Structure 1
Amino acid sequence: MTALHGIRFAFGTLTVVPVRVTRWDRTAARAGMLSAPLAGLVVGAAAAAAGSALALLGAGAPLAAVAAVAVPAALTRGLHLDGLADTADGLGSGRPAEDALRIMRQSDIGPFGVVTLVLALLAQTAALAELFARGWAHGAAAAVLAAVAARLTLTLACRSGVPAARPEGLGAAVASVVPVAWALAAAALVTGAAAG
């Protein structure tokens, strides 16, 4: 039952998949962060399907890559992009920690965030275009692998001993919920599956 709550937690917080999150406690958060790579697998599969469909229809590698980058943004409500922009704005400000956190909480996006987003999206698109140019299967595999690996970083970041940056918000709900041994086991499982 905890696994099901964890899957709901992961999909409810990390995707637009309409699931009902019935538990919002540390146990569900632990199972959810352990399930994060599974959410990445679904997001990555959708990205791979969109990119591959365009590549197989002859749209060309650049357009296939754009689709494979756009789908995860849509399926996650841009959560990862918003976090990246906030982090860039906070770190780029050069302010002390408290001021940087205040900047990161603001709803607008600053110049560091904009530049970082543009460069990150260009890099993702260029890398996927290169792989789709080698064949749709290469691009599809890369889209899936990237999405799973990205969500695995959540599992690792939520391991015991890593505190939340602030006492409120989603970060505080999932900080330090995954035992180190479980985080390493998840990393080994994902790495083994990716290598297979």
Structure 2
Amino acid sequence: MDESTAADAAAAAEAVAADDAAAADSVAEGNGDSDSSPGELMAQLETDLQQARDAALRAHADAQNIKRRAEQDIEKAHKFALESFCKELLPVVDNLERALEVTSGHDGSIKPIVEGLELTLKSFQDALKKFHIEVVDPQGEPFDPQLHQAMSMVENGEVEPNTVIAVMQKGYTLHSRLVRPAMVMVSKAPAGQ
């Protein structure tokens, strides 16, 4: 139990004790009711005491719940603080990958440029992995609407229907939460089948 919780519990106990003292004083004074017997007054005092204890327990439980929710909110804020920054970096990774695709068929004269692009892309990918940003590249996998965005459907009898046959843009997740869906082409059964 931390200090604030202990202080809340102590304050609730003091309030119950004060209520008990006030109730005892009113019993000692007779409270002006000549119709009430001492047994009825004691029963009323016990009921009031139980209600005060219940209220104190509820207040303590509410304080614990608020504390737990605040801790969860802080944890989520730390975990997903990089999401908007990640979204801004993903186009840079896409552009590096496109540049490597374009240069793959060229002669050896641009080999140093290609090597530089490969190293830069690898550094970027390593940095993304370090911060739990994972690639969603579903080539050949079944279509998953939770992770993929279908851009078109193409008739293809060589693969099962609803299979990703082309990835136009890779997707990414941050701590298993989708940041950007993979843009894909999905197969469908040929019209004659």
| TM exceeding 0.5 | no
Q: TM-score range by the shorter chain?
A: under 0.3
Task: Tell which structure's C-alpha radius of gyration is larger.
Answer: 2
| Structure with greater helix percent | 1
| Structure with greater strand percent | 2
Q: Give TM-score scaled by structure 1 length.
A: 0.24
Which structure has more RCO (C-alpha within 8 Å, separation ≥ 6)? 1
